[in-house]
Amino acid sequence: MTAVAAEEAAPEHRTVVLSTFADAKDAYRSKDLRQSLYDEGEVVMADVLVNLHGEEHRSRRRVENRMFRREVFERYERDLFPAVTDATIAPYVAAGRVDLVHLGHELMLNLAALTAGVDRPEGTAEETERLYAYMMSFIEGATLAHSTKDKAVQRGVIAQALDDWDAEFLAPSIARRRDLLAREAAGEDVEVPRDVLATLLRHADELTLAPEVIRREVAFFLLAGAHTSATAFVRAIDHILGWIDEHPEDAAAAVDDPLFVQRCIHETVRLNPSSPTGRRRALAPVSLRSGIDIPEGATVVIDLQAVNRDVTLFGADAADFNPRRTLPPGVAPFGLSFAAGMHVCIGQDLAAGVVQRADTDPGSHLFGLVTGAVQQMFAAGTRRDPDNPPRRDAATARPYWGSYPVLLG
């Protein structure tokens, strides 16, 4: 199943495509394979966590891991997110309809702004619209490699957006956190938010980060948290609507069984990895356990689409959406869609919760923010709009929905 493309090319120009679960996991764990998925997106992605390697990556991740902890996730999932989700969807429930693509990004922006540490002091719809436009620009920056627009022009537009966003949103968010940290250090009883920006500022002595690196890191967390979760949100609702058409007996579970909804999220993420491929560059010759040799300088493409649909692991219906499937031990229900090894998604549990076990107690389980949001949508009566079918996005070569109108209530 493994193809070595352009066999006759010089080693540094070779591309090795990995399409088995074992090879993919092995490659993700190799210290000599360096991130290279975002090489064209450096306007936003230069020096951000997912692009670092070795000691630089370890020390940044160690600091940021302090925020990505169970007790912090519990606070977000139980106390903060449900109210934000309710407030975000309320006007659409009142209107009886919404475009899920826009709602997904608006909702996940609200949640990602909390976790990244971007304040909106005015609290107005206009202010959120402006932050939304910046975030969409950062998403375009990170995924520039797949853009169908003029990339040089887009790079300039996105660099300007970063400058403007910094002046309007980031600088005041930094100032507020610095003030809170100083007051906390002076013994005052203040609550410093548990977010990425505050974590970076709190541990500034451990990491020397230039202001423009902090700026890109927070922009990256905003886009990484929002974009992946927003696309999973829309796709999960699409899959669940399709599943309910075939299995009407599960319609109630989408509303009142969060364990079922979480399995739907995991199944959605398995079938639709946020990027269909992982990409690495070999810093040294690497031999995988299966015997595949990767020459120094070669590009490694991890075909997540193939790995996650492997019939030997997921069964004969691996390409289908089936939240009721059983899995072999050692295989996560979302396959390798959160990657593995050093860059394994730091937001995995926050987004999709903890993997269920036979003895999972729903009372204390973490379900993840996408599960919570999707369940809230079904509780709000989400169903297809027969007069407005969904459309694919034409502005990117990737399979995103461009619009997905639904009726509510």
Task: Write out the residues near ligand HEM by the rule CB under 6 A.
Answer: 35, 37, 49-50, 61, 115, 221, 224-225, 228-229, 232, 269, 274, 278, 337-339, 343, 345-347, 350-352, 370
Euclidean distance between CA atoms 401 and 409, whole angstroms: 23
Token pair of 71, please? 């007790």
* 93 or 337: CB nearest ligand HEM: 337
* 93 or 103: CB nearest ligand HEM: 103
Question: How near is the Cβ of 47 to ligand HEM at its closest, in Å?
Answer: 12
Euclidean distance between CA atoms 334 and 385, whole angstroms: 29
* 142 or 224: CB nearest ligand HEM: 224
Question: How near is the Cβ of 224 to ligand HEM at its closest, in Å?
Answer: 4
Question: How near is the Cβ of 48 to ligand HEM at its closest, in Å?
Answer: 8
CB atoms within 10 A of CB 261: 28
**Contacts of residue 377, Cβ cutoff 8 Å, sequence gap at least 6:** 89, 237, 408
* 51 or 382: CB nearest ligand HEM: 51
Q: Tell me the backbone φ, ψ of residue 195, rounded to 5 degrees.
A: -135, 175
Question: How near is the Cβ of 214 to ligand HEM at its closest, in Å?
Answer: 14
* 65 or 360: CB nearest ligand HEM: 65
* 161 or 232: CB nearest ligand HEM: 232
CB atoms within 10 A of CB 103: 22
* 353 or 390: CB nearest ligand HEM: 353
Question: How near is the Cβ of 284 to ligand HEM at its closest, in Å?
Answer: 19
CB atoms within 10 A of CB 117: 24
Question: How near is the Cβ of 228 to ligand HEM at its closest, in Å?
Answer: 3
Question: How near is the Cβ of 60 to ligand HEM at its closest, in Å?
Answer: 8
* 93 or 352: CB nearest ligand HEM: 352
**What angle do helix axes 125-142 and 100-116 make, rounded to 10 degrees?**
90
Question: How near is the Cβ of 61 to ligand HEM at its closest, in Å?
Answer: 5
- Kindly give the pairing relationship between strand 299-303 and strand 15-18: parallel
Euclidean distance between CA atoms 387 and 229, whole angstroms: 27
Closest residue by beta carbon to ligand HEM: 347
Euclidean distance between CA atoms 276 and 145, whole angstroms: 13
- Identify the burial level of 91 via C-beta atoms within 10 angstroms of its C-beta, where 0-12 means exposed, 13-18 middle and 19 or more buried: exposed
CA distance to 19, 50, 285, 297, 359, per residue, from 30 (Å):
16, 15, 11, 14, 34
Query: Is 262:274 a contact under the CB 8 Å cutoff?
Result: no
Query: Is 114:84 a contact under the CB 8 Å cutoff?
Result: yes
Question: How near is the Cβ of 162 to ligand HEM at its closest, in Å?
Answer: 18
Question: How near is the Cβ of 338 to ligand HEM at its closest, in Å?
Answer: 5
Euclidean distance between CA atoms 124 and 6, whole angstroms: 54
90: DSSP letter: H
Within a 13 Å sphere around the CA of 260, how many CA atoms are in the beta-carbon half? 16
* 61 or 120: CB nearest ligand HEM: 61
* 260 or 334: CB nearest ligand HEM: 334
Amino acid at residue number 73: F
CA angle 338, 234, 256 (to 5 degrees): 90
**Contacts of residue 155, Cβ cutoff 8 Å, sequence gap at least 6:** 43, 141, 144
